[in-house]
Amino acid sequence: MKHILYLLLLLVPCLAFSQTPDSTWIVNNYSKVEQYITMRDGVRLFTTFYIPKDSSEKHPILLTRSPYSAAPYGKEFRAYWISPYKHYFKEKYIIALQDVRGRWMSEGQFEDVRPFNANKKGKEFDEASDTYDAIDWMVKNLATNNGNVGVFGISYPGFYSTMAALSNHPALKAVSPQAPVTDWFIGDDFHHNGAFMQMDAFAFYSSFGRPRPKPTTIGPGQFEYSTKDNYAFYLNNKTLDNLTKKYMGDSIAFWKQLMHHPVYDAFWQARNPRNFVNNIKPAMLVVGGLFDAEDCFGAWRMYQAIEQKNPGANNKIVMGPWYHGQWSRPEGRNLGNVQFESNTSEWYQQNIEFPFFDFYLKSKGNTPNIAEATIFFSGENTWKQLPQWPPAAMQTKDLYLLGNGGLSFEKPVAITGKMTPKPFSEYLSDPSKPVPYTEDVHFDRTREYMTDDQRFASRRPDVLVFETDTLTSDLTLAGPVVADLMVSITGTDADFIVKVIDVFPDKFSYSDTDKYIMNGYQMLVRGEVMRGKFRNSFVKPDAFVPNKITNVKYTLPDIAHTFKKGHRLMIQVQSSWFPLVDRNPQKFIDIYHAKESDFQKATIKVYHHAGASSKIILPVVTF
């Protein structure tokens, strides 16, 4: 969830200058300047600059625009010396941090994911024009700048980085949207395929969403939960309507908008920057995490949109085995129990990000040797530098669900006679006892669930489990996975969660000191939800006809993973993922305003016979 503390690299609290030599060096070699910059409509945006004292050469500007504060305000320095970004200080960049319009010390009215206006006139503004005006002031007023500007940021600042790329300011040479907020209805943060990600949305907006009537250096307070058990909190509150009435009311403006835009209408479409990324001029470096619980979708799909709309653009993508923002941290050797065998974050910083900005903003070094797609493949734990994504060698292969709980690349065939297998697998989906997204009791949503052990779910009667035999050779997947299910339900709506899982061998361990039992580990490689009523259209949802066999087909975010010889591939299918995703009443209604009495049990059948074959379409590649 997007707590301010979750972006430590940008928001770390200030430490005493004497703690490390790096802190002393930065303070002695940099000046801090706070400045209001006037936008075209007269609104002033608060900006903090860290400027090299060395005036013997000109320096590039590296800008981050954020709703999460340019703090600390006043004379204190931000503690960059404890993050990898101290590199930019050693290289004598001018570092600029700007509070976006309506947040913290900036004037104006804040708007979440403010839509891009492609036809601005006069004093009309958007985030792209605010970026243009800010850059224009900087290159004209910072005496020691070299005329080259870069913009980067993670998560919400990743969205502002995308908007910066649309500004078309001639001084903007390089942009890196990192885990960029891209589409809040289809795949990022608060909705996945129309299903509401209630835990992240409530945790974020119950604090971040509080109104800020005037510029301030004091952040919003945190919501006080009645229990530290997030499963119990959301189950006890029963409905989204109860959450709204008890805790959010009318004061949290964007929560109110969430509740009143239940389909992919013009409100959401205007907030999808993929619709507007035309005429991209700067060098682009899109960065994301394969196991980012918030904006994995945004990184993959923003890169793809830029590629499609800007043939020949200098546009690269990097995806590592990271949680949200982990690539900006000192360590990237593991996520939860799963090990990656090297410091992947440091490798990325030294080989990709730093050379990218150094070349385009400082003309340092040769043209960066950055491949079109630099992708880490978990399982085999190696980086691959590829000329395109998905790889040209990728071929889709249908993996069929079988009645005996197996998986096969061979389609089921019709069988007649007394031993005809049951044509479907079924489970009872009970909203009063939803399937948890993780085994343990937690307060905050975990980032580790993206690679968590799924054995707890395999043991539930409301989770279907299908798996291959032990693999006799490596199986590498590289690209989007498609769930293509044939189902029937006794209600008129249901959610479908499909999970792709790597089952480790029974005698597997990383070392003798493993803190967790890794033999037989069921590693979640990718999981995604589909709200069934959106199976045909996100704009016009359709009710299910009870007990009628119906196709539910949807795409999961891309994966890059090798199932090693001796492992097995598992697929799990379920209809709740709680409290990560809100409960579906299993009735075709407006779920945001559903009553407690609307929730009902439903029998879910997943078919796997010759005439109705459920399958998972895998992106198989051999390098």
- pLDDT of 525 over the 60 cut: yes
- In the chain, where does the domain assigned CATH 2.60.120.260 lie? 395-621
Q: What is the pLDDT of residues 486-499, one digit of tens each?
A: 999 999 999 999 99
- pLDDT of 63 over the 80 cut: yes
* Distances 222 to 11, 105, 249 between C-alpha atoms, Å: 17, 19, 16
Strands of 14-93, DSSP E: 30-38, 44-52, 59-66
Class of the CATH-defined domain 395-621: mainly beta
Q: What is the pLDDT of residues 190-205, one digit of tens each?
A: 999 999 999 999 999 9
Going by C-alpha positions, the residue among 386, 407, 416, 411 that lies closest to residue 563 is 407
Averaged pLDDT, 244-249: 94
4-183+271-386 belongs to CATH 3.40.50.1820: yes
Please, which pLDDT band fits residue 413 given cuts at 50, 70 and 90?
confident
- pLDDT of 366 over the 90 cut: no
Please, which pLDDT band fits residue 582 given cuts at 50, 70 and 90?
very high
Mean pLDDT for the chain?
A: 94
Looking at residue 459, what is its pLDDT?
Answer: 98
- pLDDT of 304 over the 70 cut: yes
Percentage of the residues of the chain whose pLDDT score is greater than 90: 93
Looking at residue 414, what is its pLDDT?
Answer: 78
Looking at residue 16, what is its pLDDT?
Answer: 32
Strands of 393-538, DSSP E: 395-401, 407-408, 424-429, 464-467, 475-489, 495-503, 522-531
Please, which pLDDT band fits residue 483 given cuts at 50, 70 and 90?
very high
Element holding 268 (H helix, E strand): helix 266-269
Looking at residue 3, what is its pLDDT?
Answer: 42
Looking at residue 5, what is its pLDDT?
Answer: 34
Averaged pLDDT, 328-347: 96
The reported pTM is: 0.95
Q: What is the pLDDT of residues 113-148, one digit of tens each?
A: 999 999 999 999 999 999 999 999 999 999 999 999
Looking at residue 417, what is its pLDDT?
Answer: 61
Q: What is the pLDDT of residues 71-92, one digit of tens each?
A: 999 999 999 999 999 999 999 9
Question: From CA 467, how far away is CA 249, in angstroms rounded?
Answer: 46
- pLDDT of 274 over the 80 cut: yes
Averaged pLDDT, 207-228: 95
Please, which pLDDT band fits residue 420 given cuts at 50, 70 and 90?
low
- pLDDT of 13 over the 70 cut: no
DSSP string, 183-247: -TTTTSTTEETTEE-HHHHHHHHHHHTS---S--SSPPPPP--S-S-HHHHHHHH-SHHHHIIII
Question: From CA 129, how far away is CA 39, in angstroms rounded?
Answer: 8
Looking at residue 22, what is its pLDDT?
Answer: 81
Please, which pLDDT band fits residue 419 given cuts at 50, 70 and 90?
low
Looking at residue 418, what is its pLDDT?
Answer: 56
Element holding 621 (H helix, E strand): strand 615-621
Length of the chain: 623
Q: What is the pLDDT of residues 20-61, one digit of tens each?
A: 438 899 999 999 999 999 999 999 999 999 999 999 999 999
Q: What is the pLDDT of residues 593-611, one digit of tens each?
A: 999 999 999 999 999 999 9
Averaged pLDDT, 428-453: 97
Q: Minimum mean pLDDT among 15-19, 157-161, 195-199, 566-570: which range?
A: 15-19
Looking at residue 4, what is its pLDDT?
Answer: 37
Q: What is the pLDDT of residues 290-300, one digit of tens each?
A: 999 999 999 99
Q: What is the pLDDT of residues 390-412, one digit of tens each?
A: 999 999 999 999 999 999 999 99
- pLDDT of 12 over the 80 cut: no
- In the chain, where does the domain assigned CATH 3.40.50.1820 lie? 4-183+271-386
